[in-house]
Structures are given as structure tokens and as C-alpha cells.
Structure 1
């Protein structure tokens, strides 16, 4: 009998499994930009991490608990070989899983993340919070309204998360980012902040990761800088780094077609490796 994972998850498609890990704040639905497309050729597993979405918890935990939860989930689903696609915090957890389970992780797709994450976000003012609140509330009820984008969105904290202030991008913010934000628990936030406070840094260890890695970054990312993302790629043994101009931390919602094309081309390039890895 397999140990039951406490995680809520979404399972789509069939084929070689791809574990899709969301960021903070986030949930499994935030990964739909990837899963809706990738599930046409692969099996995608998108969990709500502990303390996020529908994976509720009342007990404090350390960030390493995410790894235990995910290992239980994969065992429950009888998945022994898989790719990982991790966005922001999800990429950090993906790195940790690859370090713990090198015989199981066939490849890593790291998005807006780093093994030594660094931020250059400016101080947040009361005006930032004021305009973000207005923009977020209006956009939630009238997603992608250009007047709201021009009047409040571009003056809000959204300007540090995105560079493409388009209706399509704001649709993602309304339908996925806002609900995920409200479903993120203080306990999960506390676990992440504690790890960052302790100075999370796995640069010296990630050279142990031998699987193919694709590291993607947004040129104007203020939350996890493209420089720290590139630093991660340089320390990985088998990595390709790509930086998208005029995008920020949420670039998969800004240029989804380009990002998906690049991911699918990378997977196709390594398909022989993944097939052989799965047979071992």
C-alpha cells in the first residue's frame, strides 16, 4: 500500500510524466499555461503544494516538507521517472528533488528561479499597495479592461511582475493569480520566508545534477533576477539558459506561445535521452 499524499493535484494527459510545480503565491491552476498544452503529448501532474490552494494545513512546517509530500504523491501515482517543470519556488523545489532523487528525475525546466535566488525589488510604498488593490479588484471583476490597465495596473506592483500590460496577461492575473493569492496560507508564507532568511544557496551542490536542464528567465525580473538565474545555469553540468527581453517574473503569462514552443523544442531535442532514461 502506497503512503497517501496530503496534496490536492490535477492530472492531465498521458505519456511521459511532467511534474509541474507552482510558485509563491500560487496553486496548481496557475500552471495551466503549461499543462493545457503539454498534456497533449505528456502526462502532467500539477499539485497544490502544502499550504497552497486546496492542500490546506494547520501545522507549521519547513520548506523541506514539500519534498516529502511530493515523493509520497509520486509513489501514490506509481510514477518512478519524470521531468520537472518548476516556476519560481517550484523551481527551487525541483532542484531539491533532483538532488534527492537523481535516478528518477530525467530533466529540469526551471522558470524564473535560481539555486541562490536574489531580488532587486524596490521598496514598496503605500501608493504601490493602493494602486495594486484597485487594479486587482477591478481586474478581477472586469478581466483585461484596458482602461483599468492604463489607469491603475501600470502604476501598481504589477509593473514589477510583468512588462506586457496586455488584456491577455491581465486575464491570467484575474483568473489564476488572484485566487491563488487568497488561497495561500500564512503557514506556507512563513515556511518560505524562513528558508530565505536562512540564506538558501545550493550553488555548490547543483553540479551534482547531471540531467538536461532548461533555465528560462525574464530580462526585467525583479523578484528573482536574471543574473541569479544565469548563475544557476552556469553551475549546472548540462544546462541551456535563455532570457526573454521585455518580460518579468510572470513571463509565461506574457509570452506563453513563445515559451511553450521553446520548452517543447527542448524536450524534443532530448527525447532520446528521456526515452532511454525511462527504460533504465
Structure 2
């Protein structure tokens, strides 16, 4: 299917893939910055954002959609950046056609993703609902963060309860959550129940890779991300203390600086 896609900037292309729930817009923390020197291509995956899907589909359909998107845009080679589920899809694209991709950036992702999320109580859900509604009306309001946010499920997504992180949740997170289809949820959970594990295939990758993780991530643990980094031949690894799954919204300046530094190691062929 044709994916709704946001393209920014000029230069060497970077295919930017969002997580679950999410949309291309959820990656603005990356695309707004990287598009100053590269061309960023940020699609809404099938069943997410404005890429509406009829009926059920499999995770493999995402890969077919993405390869078709690159073909339609006449992108022969590019870099890959993926956050969470987007990182897993980026990894699969690289394994599927390694000659097409020149570098891989994995954000809070793993080839054998493991989580350790605590049980969710009804109080968690209530506080999350209230915090989310108030944050939608007044993004980043310190009173809301201190009163409801720190008691809500947001505490497992962001360790640093800052107004900036809550502003990102309001601008880039809530709509993406509301636009995520049930079919997309079912496709993801089927893959997780099957025990997704691609560690044994990582030795095939020879492209340079950067793996970034939040130390307190309970959705895809830092340990599982590090395990992936250690299995890839050409890989740099960075773990950010006192951050969680949404760490690019907690410490965006540091994350973008590290990505810029890594991109420079690839040489001038990939810069605008």
C-alpha cells in the first residue's frame, strides 16, 4: 500500500521509522534536526497515522510497504533510523537487503526484545488518563506533572519528568496513539507471542550501526539493546542514565549530538 509519508530536507536520504503506537510525526525530534543536512523520509506505517489499512496484516507487510516506498521515491541507497518497533523493522530491512542500506541507527530497539514492565493497576490507568487530558490542554504544566504525571504510566515511559518531555507527548504522542489501529496492535502482538528473536542473524550485518538505549527502559530493556549491539560487527553503543523508553524526548540534545557524531564517522559521502 502507499504509505502517508513526510519528506523533509535535501541530501543523502534517511528512512526514519516510528514505533508502536506512533506515526511519522512522532519522529519530529529526529527529522527536524537531521533534515538540515539530510533528506528525512518518515512514513506512517501501515495501520498507523494516516496510512489506514483494511483488515488484518502481518509484520512482514510493513517491510514490503517500506521497500515499495523507497522504490516509488527512486531511493536506491539510504541510511536507516528506527525507534522501538521501527528499529526492529529497520533491522529486518537491513537483513533482507543489506546492499541497499549504508548505516543503521537503532533507538530503544533489540533483535531479541525483552521487557520488565511492572503490573498495571487501575490507579495507573486513572492517573494516566487525567494526566494525559490535562497535558493535552496545557502541555508541560509542572503542576500536572507533579500531581498526576509522576503517578501515571508516563513514569515508565520517561524517567525525567520534565516539561519538555510532556510537550513532546502532547504534540507528537497523543494523536499517534489515537490513530493507531487495532489491526496494527494485533500484528505486533502476534509477532511478540511468536517469540521474535533475530540475534543469530546479526552476524550477517556488515554495515555500521549505532545502538542507543535508556537505562531505565522497561518496554525494551537496555540489556536487550546492548545484547544486540554486541552481536553486530561494526557497532557503537550508548546508554543514557536516568532515562526510559522515550529517552529522545527526555535528553534530545544529547541524543542528537551523539547521532551527529556517529554520522560524521561515515564520511562525507552521506552528508549534504
1:214 aligns with 2:207: no
Q: How does 1:57-206 map to 2 (within 5 A)?
A: 57-206=53-202
Name 1:35's counterpart in structure 2.
Answer: 31
Deviates more, 1:215-224 or 1:263-272: 263-272
CA displacement at 1:273 relative to structure 2 = 6.9
Cα distance in 2 for partners of 1:195, 1:148 equals 36
Unaligned segments of structure 1, at least 5 residues: 276-280
TM-score (norm 1): 0.95
Report SS of the residue matched to 1:221.
coil
- The alignment's C-alpha RMSD in Å is 0.9
Name 1:278's counterpart in structure 2.
Answer: none
* 2:17 pairs with one of 15, 21, 26: 21
TM-score (norm 2): 0.98
CA displacement at 1:272 relative to structure 2 = 4.9
* 1:6 pairs with one of 2, 5, 8: 2
Cα distance in 1 for partners of 2:53, 2:35 equals 29
Q: Deviations over 1:11-47 (max 9, x none)?
A: 0001110000000000000000000000000000000
Unaligned segments of structure 2, at least 5 residues: none
Report SS of the residue matched to 2:98.
coil
Q: Deviations over 1:68-118 (max 9, x none)?
A: 000000000000100000000000000000001100010000000000000
Q: Which runs of 4+ in 1 moved over 6 A?
A: none
1:55 aligns with 2:48: no
Report SS of the residue matched to 1:26.
coil
Q: Deviations over 1:253-276 (max 9, x none)?
A: 00101100100110001125758x
CA displacement at 1:138 relative to structure 2 = 0.5
Q: Deviations over 1:116-149 (max 9, x none)?
A: 0000000100010010000000000110111000
1:250 aligns with 2:246: yes
Summarize the Cα distance change of 1:256–1:268 in structure 2 as closer, same or farther, 3 Å threshold: same
CA displacement at 1:164 relative to structure 2 = 1.1
Q: Deviations over 1:230-274 (max 9, x none)?
A: 000011111111000000000000010110010011000112575
CA displacement at 1:207 relative to structure 2 = 1.1
